[in-house]
Amino acid sequence: MVDTELPDHVTDADASRLMADLIKEIDVLQSDDIAETVAFIAAVPKHVNLTEITILPTEQII
């Protein structure tokens, strides 16, 4: 979960409430966290093959 305006644009009230509550309850990711990860990915050497990246806050239950 990343702290964005997404919960404000979801039409399903339950889903929107779930996202808004999660943002309040746990230390969700910030846009800078994603930007740092993208910068890391862009900087890996050519011989490194990143096939999958999953970014989650440490407190988020999958």
Which letter does DSSP use for residue 6 in this model? G
Give the tokens for residue 53. 């990246």
What is the extent of the structural domain holding 49? 1-62
- Count structural domains, the chain: 1
Q: What is the pTM of this model?
A: 0.68
Q: Phi, psi (5° rounding) for residue 29? A: -70, 155
Residue 50 is predicted with a pLDDT of 92
pLDDT digits (tens, 9 = 90+) for 8-58: 888 998 988 888 888 888 888 998 999 999 999 999 999 999 999 999 898
Residue 62 is predicted with a pLDDT of 66
What are the residues facing 29 on neighbouring strands?
2
